[in-house]
Structure 1
Amino acid sequence: MSPGEPEQSSQDQGVLEIYKMLVEMADRVSQRRQSANSFYLTVNTAIVGGAAYLSKSGYWGTFAVSAAGIAICFLWVRAVVSYKSLNAAKFRVITALEERLPVSPYKDEWAILDVDGDGKKHTPFHKTEVLVPIVFGLLHVAQVLIQIPLQCIGSLI
């Protein structure tokens, strides 16, 4: 410690350690969120391919696989929302702890991202992230709907 530098109390050091731990935990949640998104993306891609392959053999196979895809998309949206709320809670605790620290990097970052406080300058990632399972869900629905006219044409021939 240099001369003139105030001595840090053990309580301040404890708050700093808790702050570091919470930031690390928030980062781990974000990593798990990315892994979950990769998993759901892979599963949905396989389901789209499987439904396309099964479309040659009839409506019911496509319907069953696409229904599973729609269910997985629903679970994916739920996971995104769950991870978002978990991280939001962690960052509320982190910013509250920053009030006891000499700097507030997360609070400052949000002040820069949303200067006017209207939320128009920055779009949170989850708002874009949740669109991916919705697009996949619509694709699964389209795969089923496309099969209906094909089945009707096939029965007429």
Structure 2
Amino acid sequence: MTPPPYALRVDTEVTGLREADHLLQDLAAGLGLPEDVFGCTHLVHEGGRRRVALSLAARSRAVVDAARARLAAQGHTVADGTWDEPGRAVLFPGAAALTGTLTVAELLERSAIDRVRVLGAPEEPGPGARLVTREFVRPQWEHGELVLAAMPAVGDTLVPFEDPDPTPCCADH
């Protein structure tokens, strides 16, 4: 699936991915966006500021125009386009259906994800490979495809590379 043609970016002061995920989900819920909208986070460093910015993209210009107007009216800094191509998708078609343990074929069938890439593996996993979603699936745009990075886990399964509850660096010090 190629990225939708109409997009807008939302600047934030958010510095953490978890906070950005929540902000994006809250904004999307408040806007009443259709389920086929893509919402991504982007690590941005410009003007001496590091932050996690957001983008929304849709196949309909009307959806993006309405979102732009409502976000601007709420005081958000909004502009056309996305921050960069490799956005980390938080909202995407089928995201809500990616729960529990699924085969790679089920994951691809139920969502807008184009493929699964296993870190360190020379080939993509087969359609029957089992993926434990942990109810936290964050694919990323790569060369026009939505790709989920996964890694091997116990019991001959895979898990998404991004952990829903990461341990902060140096947490035990």
> Which structure would you say has the larger Rg?
1
Class of the TM-score when normalised by the shorter of the 2 chains: under 0.3
TM-score by length of 1: 0.21
Comparing both structures, which one devotes a greater share of its residues to strand? 2
TM-score (norm 2): 0.19
Greater fraction of residues in helix: 1
Q: Which structure exhibits the higher relative contact order, with contacts defined as CA atoms closer than 8 Å and separated by 6 or more residues? A: 1
